[in-house]
């Protein structure tokens, strides 16, 4: 009765104005301010809504009692989220804020050009008025940043390769991609633990070094040169680096790139937080010494003898083009990028590539050491130090260096007998011994040859010395 009386006595405009007035007074005295972050902002999806949802998924997974679980397309992990109309308190730099996930049914008659979700979703952020500056100034930026990080971690990373002959795909992109699923990690990588720790620390320093690179005025990039015999784990190391940092990999096939400008365009289309790899750099292009080549140009194998005459016109990549790719102004079109070159023959590389500052870290991937062998025994057979007889372990240690076997060779022996662990270790010892003996034999015959050569040369040398003395 009162409601209908009020409605007849007071017109709608008056009621609306008085409600607004009461609201304003309440707001005036309230210690809090509120922010609405709706899922759809007009007709566009609100990026901030998605970011908040992801950000809260990290805190909700720890503290929430009731969570909504989702798993996105192309993702291998489950994300947690706040349930409908649930709330959660978050703290940032000592400032407490409350997040509420508000979900209300959308009115059926709402008109829109595109189909809208049946529910109207949004986040309500409540903060103290005195903390308004912190919330608007840095908290929301922090939320966006954190969400990007989580998105990168959740999403499967991609392995890119440049398209054949520099052709573009349907989106006009020069890179083709597939999900990157290589299981290699620093735990599975067999190498000296100190070296491994050093590389991991270097990678972490790089990834967390934004302010360092900014204050020193250096481009935020780093170069690694991996060298060593085939099968020592260079590719596995690259995969481990990507898995460790959560970066995408761009596997650059240099033989498919014909000019320096093509190389630059490829670089421009790579994203930040990525590893750009050129494997077997000594085989990819004909890297002869610059001094021997007046045009400073190198043609991919099969590009023809006269290809070096015109930098961008012919089928030519120059060493300077490659160095510009990693070093010059173009290398900075994007941030947080790692360049990795691999080679089996470091001696074949042009000194310009090896000069200090060009490749920041040279990593020698060597034959399997005893420390690396222990990692392989653990990975393949589940053996710890105590599980292998002490004597057997000592025998392995004695021959491993002499045998000069790569981790790939050792893995083969272990895989073959992995159902019979004891047999696997004995067979490995046998293989190591055979290799060590063979290497000893080769070495001693090489020594003999050297001695014979010296003996043949020595009479000549003696004669020379005599002549020198007499003329002196
Ligand atoms: N250091 C290592 N730790 C663990 N596994 C290794 C290691 N080195 C080699 N392997 C094993 O051997 C296989 C071949 O290794 P990988 O391709 O990484 O060697 P590579 O040095 O890149 O060889 P290439 O120079 O021929 O490309 C890998 O699949 C891995 O299983």
- pLDDT, position 289: 42
Please classify residue 340 by burial: count the beta carbons closer than 10 Å to its beta carbon, then call 0-12 exposed, 13-18 middle and 19+ buried: buried
- pLDDT, position 468: 62
- pLDDT, position 314: 47
- pLDDT, position 104: 83
Two structure tokens written together for 201: 């620390």
Task: Give distance in angstroms: CA of 339 to centre of ligand 1.
Answer: 19
Task: Give distance in angstroms: CA of 240 to centre of ligand 1.
Answer: 11
* Pocket test residue of 376, 408, 411 for ligand 1, highest count of atoms within 8 A of CB: 408
Whether the Cβ atoms of residue 221 and residue 339 lie closer than 8 Å to each other: yes
**Any residues with CB less than 8 A from the CB of 71 and at least 6 apart, and which?**
77, 78, 79
ipTM, interface predicted TM-score of the complex: 0.97
Whether the Cβ atoms of residue 81 and residue 53 lie closer than 8 Å to each other: yes
pLDDT in tens, the chain (472 residues): 888 888 888 888 888 888 888 888 887 888 888 999 988 776 667 888 888 988 887 765 555 567 777 776 655 667 677 777 788 888 888 899 999 988 887 665 555 555 555 678 889 999 999 999 999 988 999 998 888 887 777 667 789 998 766 566 555 578 888 888 889 999 999 999 999 999 999 999 999 998 898 888 888 889 999 999 999 999 999 999 999 998 989 999 888 888 888 888 888 888 888 999 999 888 766 654 444 444 444 444 444 333 344 444 445 777 777 777 777 676 666 678 899 999 998 888 888 788 767 788 999 999 999 999 999 999 998 887 777 778 888 899 999 999 999 999 999 999 988 788 888 888 999 999 999 999 888 888 888 888 888 877 766 565 666 666 666 5
Task: Give distance in angstroms: CA of 234 to centre of ligand 1.
Answer: 6
Q: State the closest ligand 1 atom to the C-alpha of 237, by its place in the atom list counted from 1.
A: 18
Interatomic CA distance for residues 242 and 157, integer angstroms: 9
Give kind and range of the element (H or E) at residue 411.
Answer: helix 407-416
Give kind and range of the element (H or E) at residue 101.
Answer: strand 95-105
Task: Give distance in angstroms: CA of 401 to centre of ligand 1.
Answer: 18
Is ligand 1 within 6 A of the CB of residue 408?
yes
Is ligand 1 within 6 A of the CB of residue 191?
yes
Is ligand 1 within 6 A of the CB of residue 366?
no
Interatomic CA distance for residues 378 and 178, integer angstroms: 31
- Reported pTM: 0.68
Q: State the closest ligand 1 atom to the C-alpha of 368, by its place in the atom list counted from 1.
A: 1
- pLDDT, position 472: 52
Is ligand 1 within 6 A of the CB of residue 184?
no
Task: Give distance in angstroms: CA of 230 to centre of ligand 1.
Answer: 7
Ligand 1, atom 18, lies closest to the CA of 233
* Pocket test residue of 232, 342, 376, 414 for ligand 1, highest count of atoms within 8 A of CB: 232
End-to-end C-alpha distance for the chain, whole angstroms: 134
- pLDDT, position 72: 63
Ligand 1, atom 8, lies closest to the CA of 233
């Amino acid at each position: 009765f009162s409601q209908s009386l009020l409605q007849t006595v007071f017109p709608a405009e008056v009621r609306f104005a008085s409600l607004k007035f009461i609201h304003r007074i309440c707001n005036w005295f309230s210690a809090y301010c509120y922010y609405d972050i709706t899922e759809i902002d007009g007709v566009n999806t609100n990026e901030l809504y998605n970011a908040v949802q992801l950000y809260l998924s990290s805190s909700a997974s720890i503290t929430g009692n009731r969570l909504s679980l989702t798993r996105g397309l192309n993702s291998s992990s489950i994300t947690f989220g706040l349930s409908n109309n649930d709330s959660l308190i978050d703290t940032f730099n000592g400032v407490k804020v409350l997040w509420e996930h508000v979900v209300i049914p959308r009115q059926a008659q709402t008109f829109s050009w595109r189909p809208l979700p049946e529910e109207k979703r949004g986040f309500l952020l409540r903060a103290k008025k005195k903390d308004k500056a912190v919330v608007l100034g840095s908290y929301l930026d922090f939320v966006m940043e954190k969400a990007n990080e989580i998105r990168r971690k959740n999403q499967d990373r991609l392995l890119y390769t440049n398209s054949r002959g520099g052709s573009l795909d349907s989106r006009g992109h020069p890179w083709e991609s597939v999900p990157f699923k290589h299981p290699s990690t620093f735990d599975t990588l067999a190498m000296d633990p100190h070296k491994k720790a050093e590389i991991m620390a270097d990678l972490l320093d790089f990834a967390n070094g934004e302010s360092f690179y900014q204050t020193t005025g250096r481009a935020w990039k780093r170069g690694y040169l991996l060298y060593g015999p085939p099968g020592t784990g260079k590719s596995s190391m690259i995969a481990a680096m990507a898995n460790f940092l959560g970066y995408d990999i761009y596997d650059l096939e240099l033989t498919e790139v014909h000019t320096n400008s093509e190389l630059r365009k490829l670089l421009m289309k790579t994203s930040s937080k990525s590893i750009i790899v050129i494997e077997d750099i000594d085989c990819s292009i004909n890297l002869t010494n610059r001094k021997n080549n007046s045009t400073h140009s190198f043609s991919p194998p099969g590009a023809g003898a006269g290809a070096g005459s015109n930098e961008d016109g012919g089928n030519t990549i120059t060493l300077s083009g490659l160095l510009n790719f990693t070093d010059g102004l173009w290398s900075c079109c994007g941030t947080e990028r790692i360049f990795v070159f691999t080679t089996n023959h470091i001696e074949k590389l042009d000194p310009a590539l090896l000069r200090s500052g060009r490749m920041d870290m040279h990593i020698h991937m060597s034959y399997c050491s005893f420390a690396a062998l222990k990692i392989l025994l653990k990975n393949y057979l589940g053996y710890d130090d105590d599980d292998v007889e002490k004597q057997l372990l000592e025998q392995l240690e004695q021959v491993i260096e002499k045998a000069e076997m790569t981790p790939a060779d050792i893995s083969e022996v272990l895989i073959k007998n992995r159902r019979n662990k004891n047999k696997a270790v004995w067979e490995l010892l046998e293989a190591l011994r055979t290799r060590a003996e063979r290497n000893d034999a080769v070495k001693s015959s090489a020594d003999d040859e050297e001695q014979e050569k010296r003996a043949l040369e020595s009479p000549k040398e003696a004669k020379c010395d005599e002549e020198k003395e007499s003329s002196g």
